[in-house]
Structure 1
Amino acid sequence: MMRSWLKYAFGICLLICAWQSYAQQIVYPINQHCNVHVLSISSAKTASQNKSPETGWENVKLPDVWDIRWKNYNGGVWYKIDWEWFCEREHSLNQPIVFALDYLNSAGAVYLNKDLLWASQHLQEPLSKSWNMPRYWILPVSGLKPGKNQILVYVNGYAFQNAGLGKITFNNVHENIKHHQKSLWKKRTLFEINAILSATLGILCLVIWLFIRRDNSFGWFALSCLLWLLFISQFLTTETYPYPTTLAAAQANLSFFILYILCFSVYLLRFADRRFPVLEESLFVFSIAVIVGIFFTPLDYAKIVLGTVFLSYASLLVVVYFYLAYLSYKTQKTELYLLIFCLTLIGLFACVDVVRLGNAETASLYQPLSPYTSPVITLFIALILGMRLKRNIQKIEKFNQDLEFRVFEVSEDLKRSMSEKHYLELENVRLQERIHLSHDLHDGLGASLVRSMILVDQNEDEMSNQQFLSMLKLLRDDLRQIIDSGSSIGSKVPENPKVWVAPVRHRFSQLMDEMDIHSRWDFPNEWLIEPNALQCLTLMRVLEESLTNVIKHSQAKNVAVSMQFMQPNQLLLKIQDDGVGFEANSVLEQGMSIGMRSMKMRLERVGGQLKLSSTPGYTLIQAILYFDEANSKMNESS
């Protein structure tokens, strides 16, 4: 009885041991009838990338981070995976087996039964990066042993990067494709989408900043997007180039992260209209010193230094977050509320990532959530731009309304001003016309009246009706000439100077002959420079006024009237007599003679000049007209 009980107990123990041995094996189904059993997974340190060691193997569980058992070990490690496949009795393996590797950190090679399947481009520094690239290999049935098979994986990496080997799977082709696509989505596609969205947002904000320089928050955001692109490029590249070593690449990547945190923090402060010049400058100077220190960090201290710096600058962003939360509570602005909501989501994702990165056991299974932040930021930026656009449109509409009202007011003021100006101009025109009329009456009709009065006074016999009628006709003609002088500008210029002076010469020669005054007239036969009608009329008024003064006041016996062209652009009219003379300075400067002042004003209006010189026995009046060079050349060519 006792022996029977012992037999049963021994059998139960054997069953338990067999079950535990089978439970330690990992089974991967290939199809409904065939499976792969992973018998054991072990690893060993090595100094050779070409040959696996004979001793030193330790059983491990994948995914594996060797820093957990071999602290601060940097170098090569071999992983040995013993496995076998089998099918049910009546079935056979009629499809290839796919061996998939989630990652290896950092560079390595894969062998099947000591035959090379694949190797990284660089197994020595600068090492290739395979931790961000899932891979698989199709193992044909003809290349497999009927019993036990072996896969060797060589890995070269660093402890500060949690070097090791990721999960492995055995599967059929179709199921492996599904699994591989999911792995690509997690490890690469998400980061590619993140990079595209970050680049798009960066370019958009850069363009906005280039057109709106006063809002430099967009410029800081564009710069932070560029630095973020440089930071996440490590998750996409499979080579360490252009950096000389893996450590240098990690140091540069952390430097990009530091600068990104600084620029993004400044952007957040500018978005909230806050500036801390001294603090910001101090942080940038301190960060430059930190970056320099990072590049001088030895390999043995890389893990603790890089991890501490990463967490410190992540904490800086947390401080900015709480400050903005305080501002949003204080100011109660919708834009700040949206910003806090966006940062809260980003912070939750970042906290999960930091926890995973800080734990070596979970770091190998790490699937970062940070790539999902780009869609959140994109939505946030779209909302902010929409709100700002709406606010700007409202400002523009209000400005247009105010501008329309101001334009209406200014238009009314302008109408009143124009009406007043028009009225003043009309009054000024009337006044000028009166002045011109008075001058014309004085110079034209006045001279004719004086001449007629002298004729009547000098005539000793009674004048016949015919003589009086002739005098009145002359006065009438002078009056008509004064009335028509307004249209004299468009009238025809006389053919030559002699034709021009003939009417004046005829009227005054008769009168001077009766007064026993000898006159001499010297005029050229042609116009060397042809004046316009207004200039001809002005010279005629000057001549009439000058001869009238000679007859009235000078008591002269000889009068000489001449015209000369002194220079290519000057015409000179001279009236000279041998009368009693007058004070020329008093006449011009003190305005003692209305006639002289009228002559001076007339000449100045047509660009001329009046010169007087007088002494007893000699008086000279000179009327000078100046012409431009174009007029002179035109007359010379004609």
Structure 2
Amino acid sequence: MDHRHPHPAHLRQAGRQLAHPGRASRPRAWLVALAALLLWLCPALQGAQAQSWPGTVEAVRGDWHDTAPPATGWEAARTPDDWTRRWPGHDGVVWYRLRWDIEGAPQTQGLYIPFVMQAAVITVNGVELQRDDHLVEPLSRSWNRPRFVLLPAPVLHTGRNELLIRVSGYHLYQPALGPVTIGPPGPQHAAWRDAWLTRQSLNWLSLGICATLGAFFIALWLMRRRETAYGWYGAQQAARFVFTANFVATSPWPFTHSDTWAAVVSIAYVLFHGCNAMFVLRFMGQRWPRREAVLWLLIGLLCAATLLAPHEQLRTMRNVMAWASSALLLAIAGVFVTLAWWRGGTLPQRLLSLTALASAAAMVNDLLVFTRIVDSNFYLAPYTDALSTVGIALTLAWTFVTNTRRIESFADELQHSVAAARADLAASLAHQHALALLHARLGERVNLAHDLHDGLGSMLIGHINTLERRHQPVQPTEVLDMLRGMRDDLRLIIDTAAAQQYGELMLADLLAPLRHRCSRLFELHGIDVHWQVAHIDRLHLSTTQSLDVLRILQEALTNVLKHSQATRVDVALVREDSHLVLSVRDNGIGLSDPSTRGSPGATGLHSMQARAQRLKAELRIHSSGRATEVRLRMPWPEPAASTDAGA
């Protein structure tokens, strides 16, 4: 609201959402703090009671731009004075003429006025001693700023003296002249200093608290959107900042008229109470969707009506806003106490609910002052703010200690859990390592079995077929050649195993001895072998890949030797586009369903398929009554050379 509206006193919930179940400061400490605060306030409350003016007081109405009081129309008055009781509806200027007598030689005096609503000029015996910056719109706002004026001895006269105070104001905002006291400068300045502390310094402190807490909790809400209580409390403090600025602002800036300022402050005041209600509900874990919707609908209607109200109706709207906000505060304080004390609230929540009751009591007093039921200009809200701040500080401190203890306990439990997990992981890794070694050994044995079958086994089968077909005795030199061939094949297995461990061999290097042995074997059986080898002399394959290619070739040639009854076989190992192609084609009788389990060549064909899969290659076997072709097509590895090698 504006000048004499109750100040919001709800800095009580800032840390509640951080509170956790547990023990906190005993209620006795809170009661002691409240009693100490009230004892501290007693001097300020007593200072608000002014002594009566030692002379006469008169008042007369004037216009906004008058520079001197009218000569007639003066009426007897008193201080403090609210001119709307004498001249209802008057907007403009009222001149106050205060006269008093000085006996003997005049001494320097001090003049103390707790408040002037709104702007004023102070003149003593025709000498201007103090003037506000703006006596018309945008009107200076001095309603909550105590004044101390030093009256030098040369300005005063022995006998009759005259103090003239020009006051500018609107009847909507309770224009008034506060109690005026005059006396020795020391006591008057002390009274002014105490009043400045309570009316200005505490409100500036409250503004700092609003800005700090608002920014802090909005930042928390932005980081944790689920904690909506943080967001509501930050919004509450933002609205409270705007309203509290009313107590220290000296002009309606950034607006150009006092009516706009009054409307904005009234809206901030009711928004403060709305956000406070939402915060309390969220802090207590409550959601009342329908009631909340009705609440914000009413708040929206009140705000719109305040903005659209004409000048004559603004005071009525301000009173409605004040009563509605006070009713909402009392209701939410009751809900807070009920939820905290009778619905299983935590101890910090219960203690902070007591500050809500203190704020509600202060609001009742301030509302009575605002509506003139109590003739005063002193509000209690700034002092209950201090109590709420203490409560929040204690709650945050207790929450910090509690959370720290929980974190320490959690850290200890986590250390034990991590140690146990490490032990379990070490055991699991050791078991997995043993299984991996076992699988590796089994894999090596399977690979060795395939190599022996495809290599040495093929050689044995070829030699057995040779011996079975011979009708004459085998010469020792032939048997020796057979044994040397098997030795060479066994050496190939050993060489490839060594290459896997110590380095790689070119495919061409591995192909040469196999080509030599197979050619001699096929010649013994009367089968013509034609080789076409190109672009592989610089081909880089891993040892395993090279061995897989050679074993597929060897198995295909063994099948020709065992089953085809062919007289010619064509072998090609060349590069086609971006692929390496291996082709073995014979002119024999073909294969009849060789993939059937138990059929001749089934084991070898399965081995060929497994090796092709490892090579990520495509293996096709095409068989007809006149010919059979085994064709392997695998991606060409990079980098690859393109040097030709023919046979």
Quick check: TM above 0.5? yes
Q: Taking structure 1 as reference, are residues 192 and 548 closer, same or farther at Cα in structure 2, changes over 3 Å only? A: closer
Q: Taking structure 1 as reference, are residues 45 and 589 closer, same or farther at Cα in structure 2, changes over 3 Å only? A: farther
Q: For the residues of structure 2 that align with 1:195 and 1:509, how far apart are their CA atoms? A: 102
The aligned counterpart of 2:10 is: none
The secondary structure found in structure 2 opposite 1:349 is helix
2:166 to 147, 154, 176: 154
Q: Taking structure 1 as reference, are residues 551 and 221 closer, same or farther at Cα in structure 2, changes over 3 Å only? A: closer
1:60 to 61, 77, 81: 77
Q: Residue type of the partner of 1:631?
A: P
Q: Taking structure 1 as reference, are residues 460 and 195 closer, same or farther at Cα in structure 2, changes over 3 Å only? A: same
| 1:265 aligns to 2:282 (yes or no) | no
The secondary structure found in structure 2 opposite 1:607 is coil
| 1:535 aligns to 2:545 (yes or no) | yes
The aligned counterpart of 2:58 is: 42
Residue-by-residue CA offset, 1:236-255 (whole Å, 9 max, x unaligned): 11223334433333333222
The aligned counterpart of 1:201 is: 213
Q: What stretches of structure 1 of length at least 5 have no aligned partner? A: 1-35
Q: Residue type of the partner of 2:631?
A: Q
Displacement of 1:180 in angstroms is: 2.5
Q: Residue type of the partner of 2:61?
A: K
The aligned counterpart of 2:639 is: 631
Q: Taking structure 1 as reference, are residues 85 and 626 closer, same or farther at Cα in structure 2, changes over 3 Å only? A: same
The aligned counterpart of 2:579 is: 570
Q: For the residues of structure 1 that align with 2:242 and 2:619, how far apart are their CA atoms? A: 85
After TM superposition, the structure 1 stretch with the greater mean CA deviation from structure 2, 183-192 or 68-77, is 68-77
Q: For the residues of structure 1 that align with 2:315 and 2:576, how far apart are their CA atoms? A: 102
Q: For the residues of structure 1 that align with 2:133 and 2:273, how far apart are their CA atoms? A: 33
Q: For the residues of structure 2 that align with 1:159 and 1:37, how far apart are their CA atoms? A: 24
Q: Is the 8 A contact 1:107 1:157 kept in 2?
A: yes
Residue-by-residue CA offset, 1:132-157 (whole Å, 9 max, x unaligned): 22223333333344432222212222
Q: For the residues of structure 2 that align with 1:263 and 1:193, how far apart are their CA atoms? A: 21
Q: Taking structure 1 as reference, are residues 427 and 121 closer, same or farther at Cα in structure 2, changes over 3 Å only? A: same
Q: For the residues of structure 2 that align with 1:493 and 1:137, how far apart are their CA atoms? A: 104
Q: For the residues of structure 2 that align with 1:557 and 1:206, how far apart are their CA atoms? A: 91
1:192 to 188, 193, 204: 204
Q: Residue type of the partner of 2:639?
A: N
The aligned counterpart of 1:579 is: 588
1:317 to 305, 310, 329: 329
The aligned counterpart of 1:14 is: none
What aligned pairs does 1:205-220 form with structure 2 within 5 A after superposition? 205-220=217-232
The aligned counterpart of 2:389 is: 378
Q: Is the 8 A contact 1:80 1:150 kept in 2?
A: yes
Displacement of 1:470 in angstroms is: 4.6
Q: What stretches of structure 2 of length at least 5 have no aligned partner? A: 1-51
The aligned counterpart of 1:362 is: 375
Displacement of 1:186 in angstroms is: 2.5
Displacement of 1:556 in angstroms is: 2.4
Q: Taking structure 1 as reference, are residues 563 and 103 closer, same or farther at Cα in structure 2, changes over 3 Å only? A: closer
| 1:603 aligns to 2:627 (yes or no) | no
Q: Is the 8 A contact 2:538 2:642 kept in 1?
A: no
Q: Is the 8 A contact 1:198 1:374 kept in 2?
A: no
Q: Is the 8 A contact 2:270 2:325 kept in 1?
A: yes
Q: Is the 8 A contact 1:38 1:81 kept in 2?
A: no
The secondary structure found in structure 1 opposite 2:167 is strand
Q: For the residues of structure 2 that align with 1:265 and 1:450, how far apart are their CA atoms? A: 95
The aligned counterpart of 1:82 is: 99
The aligned counterpart of 2:353 is: 340
| 1:523 aligns to 2:536 (yes or no) | no
How many residues align? The count is: 589
The aligned counterpart of 2:523 is: 513
Q: Is the 8 A contact 1:72 1:300 kept in 2?
A: no
The aligned counterpart of 1:33 is: none
Q: Is the 8 A contact 2:81 2:177 kept in 1?
A: yes
The aligned counterpart of 2:19 is: none
Q: Residue type of the partner of 1:379?
A: V
The aligned counterpart of 1:618 is: 627
Displacement of 1:458 in angstroms is: 4.3
Q: Taking structure 1 as reference, are residues 373 and 469 closer, same or farther at Cα in structure 2, changes over 3 Å only? A: same
Q: For the residues of structure 1 that align with 2:639 and 2:595, how far apart are their CA atoms? A: 30
The aligned counterpart of 2:566 is: 556
Q: Is the 8 A contact 1:39 1:84 kept in 2?
A: yes
Q: Is the 8 A contact 2:534 2:573 kept in 1?
A: yes
Residue-by-residue CA offset, 1:248-291 (whole Å, 9 max, x unaligned): 33333222211111111221122211121111111211122223
Displacement of 1:595 in angstroms is: 2.1
Q: Taking structure 1 as reference, are residues 591 and 177 closer, same or farther at Cα in structure 2, changes over 3 Å only? A: farther
Q: Residue type of the partner of 1:46?
A: G
Q: Is the 8 A contact 1:83 1:150 kept in 2?
A: yes
Displacement of 1:185 in angstroms is: 1.4
Q: Taking structure 1 as reference, are residues 471 and 374 closer, same or farther at Cα in structure 2, changes over 3 Å only? A: same
2:343 to 323, 331, 336: 331
Displacement of 1:232 in angstroms is: 1.9
What aligned pairs does 1:84-123 form with structure 2 within 5 A after superposition? 84-87=101-104, 92-93=105-106, 96-123=108-135
What aligned pairs does 1:117-132 form with structure 2 within 5 A after superposition? 117-132=129-144
Residue-by-residue CA offset, 1:574-612 (whole Å, 9 max, x unaligned): 3333222223xx224768422233223223322333332
Q: Is the 8 A contact 2:536 2:643 kept in 1?
A: no
After TM superposition, the structure 1 stretch with the greater mean CA deviation from structure 2, 507-516 or 251-260, is 507-516
The aligned counterpart of 2:5 is: none
1:307 to 308, 312, 319: 319
The aligned counterpart of 1:30 is: none
Q: Is the 8 A contact 2:586 2:629 kept in 1?
A: yes
Displacement of 1:318 in angstroms is: 0.9
Q: For the residues of structure 2 that align with 1:559 and 1:526, how far apart are their CA atoms? A: 21
The secondary structure found in structure 1 opposite 2:79 is coil
Q: Taking structure 1 as reference, are residues 452 and 223 closer, same or farther at Cα in structure 2, changes over 3 Å only? A: same
Q: Residue type of the partner of 1:206?
A: I
Task: Report the TM-score, using the length of structure 2 for normalisation.
Answer: 0.81
Q: Is the 8 A contact 1:186 1:367 kept in 2?
A: no
The secondary structure found in structure 2 opposite 1:100 is strand
Q: For the residues of structure 1 that align with 2:96 and 2:266, how far apart are their CA atoms? A: 30
Q: Taking structure 1 as reference, are residues 402 and 214 closer, same or farther at Cα in structure 2, changes over 3 Å only? A: farther
Q: Taking structure 1 as reference, are residues 390 and 178 closer, same or farther at Cα in structure 2, changes over 3 Å only? A: closer
Q: Is the 8 A contact 2:506 2:539 kept in 1?
A: no
Q: Residue type of the partner of 1:77?
A: V
What aligned pairs does 1:172-183 form with structure 2 within 5 A after superposition? 172-183=184-195
Displacement of 1:342 in angstroms is: 0.8
Q: Is the 8 A contact 1:591 1:597 kept in 2?
A: no
Q: Taking structure 1 as reference, are residues 404 and 39 closer, same or farther at Cα in structure 2, changes over 3 Å only? A: closer
Q: Taking structure 1 as reference, are residues 591 and 602 closer, same or farther at Cα in structure 2, changes over 3 Å only? A: farther
The secondary structure found in structure 1 opposite 2:295 is helix
Q: Taking structure 1 as reference, are residues 464 and 248 closer, same or farther at Cα in structure 2, changes over 3 Å only? A: closer
Q: Taking structure 1 as reference, are residues 633 and 259 closer, same or farther at Cα in structure 2, changes over 3 Å only? A: farther
The aligned counterpart of 1:13 is: none
Displacement of 1:312 in angstroms is: 3.1
After TM superposition, the structure 1 stretch with the greater mean CA deviation from structure 2, 125-134 or 218-227, is 125-134
Q: For the residues of structure 1 that align with 2:643 and 2:541, how far apart are their CA atoms? A: 10
The secondary structure found in structure 1 opposite 2:168 is strand
Answer 1 or 2: higher relative contact order, Cα 8 Å, separation at least 6. 2
Q: Residue type of the partner of 1:572?
A: V
What aligned pairs does 1:404-419 form with structure 2 within 5 A after superposition? none
Q: Taking structure 1 as reference, are residues 506 and 299 closer, same or farther at Cα in structure 2, changes over 3 Å only? A: closer
What aligned pairs does 1:443-454 form with structure 2 within 5 A after superposition? 443-454=454-465
Q: Taking structure 1 as reference, are residues 175 and 635 closer, same or farther at Cα in structure 2, changes over 3 Å only? A: farther
After TM superposition, the structure 1 stretch with the greater mean CA deviation from structure 2, 442-451 or 279-288, is 442-451
Q: Is the 8 A contact 1:353 1:369 kept in 2?
A: yes
Displacement of 1:314 in angstroms is: 0.5
